[in-house]
Amino acid sequence: MKVMEPVGGINPFPVIDPELIPARRYYDDAFYRTECEHLWSRAWQMACRLEQIPDVGDWVEYAILDKSVIVVRTTGGVRAFHNHCRHRGVPLAETGGHGNCRGKGFICPFHGWRWSMEGECTFVYGRHLFDERLLDRGELALKPVRVDLWAGCAFITFDDDTAPLRDHLGPVADRLEARGADRLRTEWWFGTVLPANWKVAMEAFMEGYHVMKTHPQLQRKLPALYNGMYGNETGGIGAPINPGLSVRENIQAQYEHMQLLNEGMAGLIHAKEVAIAGELLDVELPDNPAQAVPQWYGVVQAEITRRLRARGEDVPDLNAVAVSDPVDAVEFLFPNYFLLSFFSGMSSYRIRPLGPESCLFELWSLTHFAEGEAPPAPMQPVMLPYDSQDFPMIPRQDYSNIPMQQKGLHSQGFEAMRLSKAVEGLISNYQRLIDGYIAGLDSARLAQANRRLGGGFDGPIRDLDLSGQARSSAPRASTPTHTATTLKEAENEPCC
């Protein structure tokens, strides 16, 4: 077994064997500093939701590690600037701040220098006191940060030379757009600080293999789905499929599973969608469950589409996009953003490092609203302790594991995580992409590897075509999607 020992060079703990992830990548201070310098300085990252800055002059502050950015909507579109006064370096916007700067711009709280929303310096107090060479107009302008807009969000990068965001995301961006990701609005936004490395927190949502033990309520409701995907070995929770169940019993189990997902996640399946499905339990269906269940999902998706559109919500044709643009239950967008989809709404996660063994975990519930009916966008997350009972059940169950895992990584003799090459491949894939950033690979190559991460939930270890990286030809694990053609496609995908 190839267990990683500290090595020389810029990366002290590279991934050598793609099925073994060195434990010290999750707590070693030197590795953390290396990530901070080489990953977060170059990667595209979600900075804010656009409904937070709907009007000209609206701005929010985004922070990552020791970097702070002002994202502002101007007359020419959304722009971003490094958050510091060009005089003495004082931040112009406070951490987590927001507001509207139209007419007044950004004013330094130290000496009162001012900048417009376009980043131009408009006032220097006591200008005559300075040598003119220090007051060059171009030099005084706020330093811009690259920004791209996608899926209702502003993404930023500190790397002026990196490829555009869409080049990094690849086809997964098209699939999520087809499902209306850019038209979703925030229903609620929670945040918590987890006593764990940011990667530990993320990896809990890269596979459904953990559902059997971590989310037993889901496993017990549809054991055939989860056992069929991850194994029927003795010891798993729930019996294999019971051929004695009637069509109505199968439909009832699917419906109750939807209820559990709504109670556990909200954004993943919205209460309004569950209510519609609940009115369709007695529709006429074939006598064969293998035909009846997918047909029922087709009826549910068609009726959700029809009824929500009748309410003025701009939702996609769910049956059509299930065929043309199928998505995984969880779509990961490197380096730290997730979108989880089932019917018309989504949940999203963003995880930011706060230190080697601490991270900020944010959770959004996103849904469609009719024109003029969306509530005011929350400007800050509701911060809760990670063990708060106010979190929905599913993240609460995940949060109970994450701090324990972080402690376990320090155990004497635990050198590396052992990954399934079939269903835990996304963990290996993104970890090796991090190594590509640390190695300083060119942007085009990083973008190409990034695109390989799309659709990686419950997927295999993949060849990312990164220098020195191990290859694997393991076939992709089957993950059902919500078409109305087969039983596996109709049944719910495993939750995170």
Q: Where along the chain do the CATH 2.102.10.10 domains lie?
A: 45-158
The pLDDT of residue 237 is 53
Which residues does residue 466 pair with via DSSP β-bridges, in sequence order? none
Size of the chain in residues: 496
Alpha-carbon torsion 302, 304, 308, 310, what sign?
positive
Residue 227, pLDDT score = 79
Q: What is the pLDDT of residue 30?
A: 96
Give the other-Cβ count within 10 Å of 1's Cβ: 8
> Looking at 267-281, 416-430, 459-473, which range is the least confident one?
459-473
pLDDT in tens, 141-176: 999 999 999 999 999 999 999 999 999 999 999 999
H or E element at residue 378: none
CA distance 197 to 354: 8
Q: Which of 352, 355, 433 is nearest to 14 (CA)?
A: 433
The pLDDT of residue 233 is 57
pLDDT top residue among 287 and 234:
287
- Look up tokens 């925030």; give the residue: 186
Helical H runs in 14-159? 29-38, 137-140
pLDDT score for 7: 47
Average pLDDT on 396-411 reads 95
For 429-484, the pLDDT digits (tens) are 999 999 999 999 999 999 999 999 999 999 999 999 886 443 343 333 333 333 33
Contact (Cβ atoms closer than 8 angstroms) between residue 145 and residue 82: yes
Can you count the helices (H) and strands (E) in the chain? Answer: 16, 18
Residue 223 banded pLDDT, cuts 50, 70, 90: confident
pLDDT at 273 over 90: yes
pLDDT of residue 264: 86
Global confidence as pTM:
0.89
Amino acid at 359: C
**Beta-carbon count within 10 A of 94 CB:** 12
Higher pLDDT, 151 or 226: 151
pLDDT at 322 over 70: yes
Query: What whole-number distance in Å separates Cα of residue 474 and Cα of residue 425?
Result: 9
CA distance 349 to 126: 47
pLDDT of residue 477: 36
Please write the tens of the pLDDT for every residue from 79-121.
999 999 999 999 999 999 999 999 999 999 999 999 999 999 9
Which carries the bigger pLDDT value, residue 29 or residue 234?
Answer: 29
Task: Work out the pLDDT band at 266, boundaries 50, 70, 90.
Answer: confident
H helices present in 137-233, as ranges? 137-140, 165-169, 171-178, 198-203, 211-214, 216-221, 223-230
Q: Has domain 45-158 been given CATH number 3.40.50.1010?
A: no
Residue 86 has which token pair? 């060009």
Distances 424 to 451, 454, 478 between C-alpha atoms, Å:
17, 14, 13
Question: Would you state the structure tokens that stand for residue 219, as one six-digit string?
Answer: 């496993």
